[in-house]
Amino acid sequence: MTTTQLRQIIVPFLALIIAAVMAIWLIPPAISLLKQAFPPRFDRSPTGFAAATIAQGARLFPEHCGGCHGIAGRGDGPAAKTLPIPPADLTAQHLWNHSDGELFRWLSRGMTSPQGDQAMPGFAKILSEADRWALIDFIRANNAGIAWAATGEWPHVLRAPNLSALCADGRTVTLADLQNKSTVIVALRPAGAALSVPPASLASQLTTIWLTLDPQVSPSANACVADDRSAWTAYAVISGVAPSALAGTVFLVDLKGWLRAGWRSDDPSSWFDPMDLSAKIEEIRSHPIETVPGE
């Protein structure tokens, strides 16, 4: 084999090796840059949409976001008119077009107007990561609650805020533990009112959780008790009402933890009616929610 022939074989081979080495060295940084430029839409909150983080976000929102977005999140805060572009209406449907990751990056880094002015400050140096995720959980819950208060429907597939409840046998359970039955969550009326349980004919199909602010309420053979104030606050948020107006509201949760129905205290239909409740249970069993993007 001549020197020329040998060179014709070796040079392309070396070029392939160099290209492979360059790819190994350059691709990871390139991917990282792409991720920063085009945030992935599939990343999601690590909180599991817990009642505790929704309540935490509810405490943080007025101080850190209410000045621009308004206390209800409608984009009408007192500082809104001073900004180069109007603050987003966080109660609008478009919120659900954005992933948790996008919201987290905007909340962390801030946003600029097309002219380069700061339209929203970043909170990475002001709020912890946990606080920023809590704000995102609250924003989503608040959006859903305002829609439900107005229309009787949540605007997007929504998980029931996760909570802990004490049962009569001494177990502490979460909604994730209760996947063998549907769950009905009842916000109890003030002390002295009758405790609410499902119709006896449906008790075998349901786990009941009493949501209460009264530490004297004890679990029974028919119901577990969640007396954490954070849980009460979170369920008030997804109902679109003040905590003082939550009593008497009922939520039906399916086997996978999705919110499927709710009854206000003044609804003409009632979860106490075996036919109404049985129809809802059959409806959600016949139409299970498939996994949604990001789940």
Q: What is the pLDDT of residues 49-62, one digit of tens each?
A: 999 999 999 999 99
Q: Are residues 118 and 170 in the same domain?
A: no
Q: What pLDDT is attached to residue 31?
A: 38
Last residue in a domain, options 151, 175, 198: 151
Whether residue 143 is found in the same domain as residue 169 = no
- Give CA–CA dist 272/6, Å, rounded: 88
Same domain, 277 and 217: yes
Mean pLDDT, range 231-242, rounded to an integer: 97
123, 125, 130, 133: CA torsion to nearest 10 = 20
**Residue 272 structural domain:** 164-286
* Mean pLDDT, all residues of the chain: 83
Domain boundary among 106, 125, 151: 151
The CATH number of residue 58's host domain is 1.10.760.10
The pLDDT value given to residue 191: 66
192 and 135 co-located in one domain: no
* pLDDT over 60 (residue 76): yes
193 and 86 housed in the same domain = no
pLDDT of residue 158: 93
Are residues 108 and 198 located together in one domain of the fold?
no
3-state DSSP: the chain helix, strand, coil percent, rounded to 5?
45, 15, 45
Provide mean pLDDT across the span 205-216: 91
Q: How far apart are CA 191 and CA 64, in angstroms?
A: 35
Q: Tokens 């920063």 map to which residue?
A: 36
Residues 111 and 194 in one domain: no
Q: Do residues 139 and 170 share a domain?
A: no
Compute φ and ψ for 82, nearest 5 degrees.
-90, -5
* Tens-place pLDDT, residues 149-174: 999 999 999 999 999 999 999 999 99
Measured CA to CA, the distance from residue 125 to residue 64 in angstroms comes to 13
Domain count, the chain: 2
